[in-house]
Structure 1
Amino acid sequence: MIRLIDHVNIATEKLAETRDFFVEVLGLEEGPRPDFGGFEGYWLYAGGRPIVHLQKARGPAGPSNVSALNHAAFEVGDLDAMAARLDAHGVTYKMMQVPGAPVRQMFLEDPNGVMVELNSPRPI
């Protein structure tokens, strides 16, 4: 049985730009990645785990709004601090409270148009 999501993988033509976005803007850390024999990519870590894998796309890659897989969601400890970080980098996002749940969330796009959801518990 599935217990949790291990990682997400993003195929991109903007490999370095996408790495920089997830590291510099969202705060992940670049870490060790196995040598896949010339297959370019990065593994990005949170809490010691590689949760975002990036790979060089073999051809054009489209944004989330034209994909069956709509978005990737991550939990953050302080959504207000993340909002300040996004503001400092000029990243547009939408903040909302989940109706009837103690969760606030924000939605933004990475450099490829991949939708990213960030969630943080908050008492109602």
Structure 2
Amino acid sequence: MQLDHATIVTADLETARRFFVDVAGLTEGARPRFSIDGYWLYANGRPAIHLIDATVPAVTGRAMPRIDHVAFRLESADEWAALLRRVHAADLPYRLAEVPQMGPQQAGQQLFIALAPGVVIEFVTALRNAHRS
């Protein structure tokens, strides 16, 4: 089993699209005709993020249970360095965290960006890739 896609409902569809295309490096692709506006954004030829235009005003507070964040793994130091360049060029605030090695699992580097209140996007790579950028 593998994750097929994540859907994000947003009142600011264009800002979310620009983030995922310009910063995350996804590509806008084909999307079936639905009655609600949105985008399908692709990674490695597959739709990974579905953006949907919010049709109902947001409720204050955070619903429980909820999905906390969506994470993308970058496999190389070049990919990680390119991501950091795009994040800096977009002047986005972010938070880094290190994941210690656990058994055979390598140490990792995480980068978190709050796309909107309640929507966090994580990028993760092996720690050795992060130190080469």
Tell me the TM-score normalized by structure 2. 0.80
What is residue 111 of structure 2 aligned with on the other side? Answer: 106
- Give 4+ residue runs of structure 1 displaced > 6 Å after superposition: none
- Say whether 1:18 aligns with 2:16: yes
Identical residues among aligned pairs (%) = 38
1:92 and 1:104 map into 2 onto residues whose CA distance is 16
* Greater relative contact order (CA < 8 Å, ≥ 6 in sequence): 1
1:80 and 1:118 map into 2 onto residues whose CA distance is 12
Preserved CA contact (<8 Å) 2:62 2:118:
no
Q: Which moved more, 1:93-102 or 1:50-59?
A: 93-102
Tell me the TM-score normalized by structure 1. 0.85
2:12 counterpart letter in structure 1: K
Gaps of 5+ in 2: none
Q: Provide closer, same or farther for how the CA distance between residues 62 and 98 of structure 1 changes in structure 2, counting only shifts above 3 A.
A: farther
1:30-109 residue pairs with structure 2 within 5 A? 30-36=28-34, 38-61=35-58, 66-67=62-63, 68-77=66-75, 78-100=79-101, 101-109=106-114
2:40 and 2:55 map into 1 onto residues whose CA distance is 18
1:87 and 1:61 map into 2 onto residues whose CA distance is 30
2:59 and 2:109 map into 1 onto residues whose CA distance is 28
What's the C-alpha RMSD, in Å, of the aligned pairs? 2.2
1:62 CA drift (Å): 6.4
- Say whether 1:121 aligns with 2:130: no
Q: Give the match's secondary structure for 2:88.
A: helix
Gaps of 5+ in 1: none
Alpha-carbon displacement from aligned partner over 1:52-107 (angstroms, at most 9, x marks no partner): 001111223469x8242111111123323312210111011111220224211111
Report the structure number with the largest CA radius of gyration.
2
